[in-house]
Chains A and B, each alone.
Chain A
Amino acid sequence: EAQVTQNPRYLITVTGKKLTVTCSQNMNHEYMSWYRQDPGLGLRQIYYSMNVEVTDKGDVPEGYKVSRKEKRNFPLILESPSPNQTSLYFCASSLVGNPYEQYFGPGTRLTVT
């Protein structure tokens, strides 16, 4: 089954404790992206990757890191989480080309206390 998976789905952590949210897709998609969703603000792009070893900042990259060592995986790293990073996070992937449909992961609800 074609899908984007994220782990963990729910995470409560404390300020400053490094964490990684994993994202994996099995559709051989070149493009992967991370979004955060906050009430009243909608979805905002954090980072995206056009292919292996190619990453770029989205609209709200501060406080986040990503890596793309393999085509299927695109982890999101919070080196020192802060309460303002409490949010619902989505990973998405797609083929590269225009136009192209994005496939979304199930979301990770992160709470930083």
Chain B
Amino acid sequence: KNEVEQSPQNLTAQEGEFITINCSYSVGISALHWLQQHPGGGIVSLFMLSSGKKKHGRLIATINIQEKHSSLHITASHPRDSAVYICAVRGCTGTASKLTFGTGTRLQVTL
């Protein structure tokens, strides 16, 4: 079993829909990252969370440390949101330099 599991693997939505991508992890962490990989391959950091909830524009990320689960929500989705969304967790203390990645969720938003 992978340390970081994402669901769904693939997601197709119509413009305007509310989207949720889930990430579950099995190890203790110091932080969780959500990344976006554009169709051209570039990766950008969306959020870094160690507790609670963060919001940036139409994107919302939440984390439940007790349940070892995080969600990324996209409100009013748009075709430009089409990308691969990757969850990554950072270990604690001795492994804090290590990022472990999920395999990503491929999102396609259609008109």
A and B co-occur in one complex: yes
The chain A residues found within 8 Å of chain B, CB to CB, are 31, 33, 35, 40-45, 48, 50, 56, 58, 88, 90, 98-104, 106-107, 109
- Segment among B12-20, B64-72, B75-83, B92-100 that sits at the interface with chain A: B92-100
Q: With both chains docked as a complex, state the minimum distance between the C-beta of B95 and any C-beta of chain A, in angstroms.
A: 11
> Which A residues lie within 8 Å of B98 (CB)?
45, 48, 58
> Which A residues lie within 8 Å of B48 (CB)?
99-101
A31 and B97: CB pair below 8 A?
yes
- Which residue of the partner chain B has the closest CB to A102? B45
Total interface residues on B, CB under 8 Å, equals 22
Q: Can you name 6 extra interface pairs (CB under 8 A) apart from A43-B88, A44-B101, A104-B45?
A: A58-B98, A98-B31, A101-B33, A101-B48, A107-B41, A107-B43
B30 and A106: CB pair below 8 A?
no
> Which B residues lie within 8 Å of A48 (CB)?
97-98
